[in-house]
Amino acid sequence: MDRKVKIAVLVSGGGTNLQALIDAERSGIIASGEIVCVISSKAGAYALERAKSAGIDAVTVARKDCATLADFEAGIVQALEEHGAEVIILAGFMSILSEDFTRRYSDRIINVHPALIPSFCGKGYYGLKVHEEALKKGVKVSGATVHLVNEVCDGGEILAQKAVQVKDGDTPETLQRRIMEQAEWKLLPEAAEKLCRRILGEKKPETPEVVLEKWERKDAETLAEIIGKIDRKYLSDRIPNPYTENDAVWFITETAQKGEAEKTGVFSKITVGGKTVGNISVEKSGGLNERCAVIGYFLLPEYYGKGIMTEAAKQICAEAFEKLGVIRIEGRTFEPNMASRRVLEKAGFELEGILKNAYIKNGKVYNACVYGLTKGE
């Protein structure tokens, strides 16, 4: 198999489930994926030693050293992006991830829970607590569940389950060990392989026809409505909040039309099936960078993931090289909008540097990512 899906494993402790994954990859049970990094939420976790012994990159993003959950997750995202991770496996990872994080990696995160969901699951049910509650209830059968992770704790799609007998005289520790050996260590690698095969077999959704058209004053109401539907974290701080129809008129007349007339920028509305769904523009930089231009864009959320921005970027870059006389177009994107990075790379942009000009704003870490596309290359 030429291509394998890149897997990151998130851990917090000893890493017994991690070892099961490592062994499964070596034995060929995981044939469609490869573990490229292990990320621990605790410094000194033995799981990191397991990773190093297997020749896998080991990274620590210590939760206790991060002021906020957003800071913690930003560190994890950085490590995931640096390793090109496509699948994330939670293997004894003792932190609940935010909705922003799970949405970013939708259908790409799997977790193993030491019970048969929907029993003994949800917030507060982890580690020995799960087995303690199962024994208190007097159940005769417990087990393990591997599921996709979403914004609901233990609420994602179930990929696999296996029942394990509860024996007389069991303690939480003996039951935990039996469930790991008979269920978790078997199910987790099998589910990882299943998800990797699913990804390799995924067909790209067909990109609808994308047409770039010039903004006109009559589009002001539409533009205002679009910006009102977009999450503010994906918009420049320079865009007024709230954004009114008067703001849209100003953009169209003073920025878009004037910029194109003076050949300082190319501004286009993105239309799909005759409907305006977003904006894309390329503007010349000033000063020493006058032969360079910067790309920027936004899109209605329901049109994400269809290749629309990639196609729009290709079209406007070709137009900008011709009309503006620039030799280079750059895209500067900032965390947490990593979708921008993927759009630009697919459109032919080359990643020049990550963590360039990293800074902190309003308690969040932002990493400036600079991409460039040079004419003739």
Asked whether the beta carbons of 293 and 328 are under 8 A apart, the reply is yes
Give the gyration radius of the chain's Cα atoms: 24
Tell me how far apart the terminal alpha carbons of the chain are, to the nearest angstrom. Answer: 31
Q: In sequence order, what E strands does 219-323 have?
A: 265-272, 275-284, 292-299
How far is the C-alpha of 218 from the C-alpha of 224, rounded, in Å? Answer: 11
Helix or strand run (H / E) with residue 27: helix 16-27
**349 three-class SS:** coil
The reply to whether omega before 242 is within 30° of 0 (cis) is: yes
Token pair recorded at residue 91:
């293997």
Distance CA 169, CA 135 (A): 10
3-state secondary structure of 14: coil
Q: Which residues touch 170 (CB under 8 Å, ≥6 apart)?
A: 135, 178
113 as an active site residue: the answer is yes
Q: Select from 66, 158, 84 the least CA-distant residue to 345.
A: 84
Residue 297, SS3?
A: strand
Q: What single letter denotes the amino acid at residue 233?
A: K
**Number of helices (H), then strands (E), in the chain:** 12, 14
- State the alpha helices, DSSP H only, in 90-212: 99-104, 128-137, 172-179, 185-201
Alpha-carbon distance 326 to 87, whole Å?
Answer: 39
Question: Residue 88 in contact with residue 110, Cβ under 8 Å?
Answer: yes
**CB neighbour class for 183 (10 Å; exposed up to 12, middle 13-18, buried from 19):** buried
Q: Which of 83, 113, 131, 147 is catalytic?
A: 113
The catalytic residues are 113
